[in-house]
Amino acid sequence: MNLPQFEQRARRLIDSFWGAVLGAGVYGAWATFANWDAGWQVALTVGLSHWLMSTFLTYTGTGVMRRCYRVGRGRLEGALLALTGGLSFTYVLLIALHHAIGTPHLALTLAAGVIPNLLFCSSYSLLLSRTLPLARAEAVEDTAVSHGI
């Protein structure tokens, strides 16, 4: 298997529902542990909520990142937009969720995921730049072809 095929397969795996479920399990377990001193009911509520939201964010966040990437005028701009959009989407929703359920240790709960989220969003943005064409470039080409240019 050559590198472009490997990259395509890796992107499909990352985009899958089961990849999101498994990856989110680590964050749910951490959220439970980080809030254990508030009582097991609170800790389990926080952990389960974080796991559900992380699964949702991982599964839908890649779609958000693909949309942000396609807005770019070039591969670098697309990758930067995907990175910014992915991180913004993730943390706005996570902070809102934890605020809504009254998570006792919000910063500690989110701290364990900062570096993995940065790495995930950065590497996925770069993977998009290597495997996904830009919509604007395709639209320009389609317009040029339809106008006989």
Return phi, psi of residue 35, to 5°.
-115, 15
pLDDT band at residue 135 under the 50/70/90 scheme: low
pLDDT band at residue 136 under the 50/70/90 scheme: low
pLDDT in tens, 45-79: 999 998 998 888 888 998 999 999 999 999 999 99
Bigger pLDDT: 48 vs 138:
48
Q: Which residue range forms the structural domain that includes residue 128?
A: 3-146
Mean pLDDT score, 106-116: 89
pLDDT band at residue 144 under the 50/70/90 scheme: very low
Q: What is the CA radius of gyration of the chain?
A: 18
Distance CA 120, CA 15 (A): 12
Q: What is the mean pLDDT of the chain?
A: 85
pLDDT in tens, 18-38: 778 877 888 889 889 999 999
Q: How far is CA 14 from CA 35, 52, 80, 87, in A?
A: 29, 17, 19, 16
Q: What is the pLDDT of residue 139?
A: 46
Joined together, the tokens standing for residue 63 give: 């779609």
pLDDT at 80 over 90: yes
Q: What is the pLDDT of residue 26?
A: 84
Q: Where does residue 2 fall: left (phi above 0), alpha (psi -120 to 50 degrees), or beta otherwise?
A: beta
Bigger pLDDT: 138 vs 61:
61
Distance CA 16, CA 113 (A): 20
Number of domains in the chain: 1
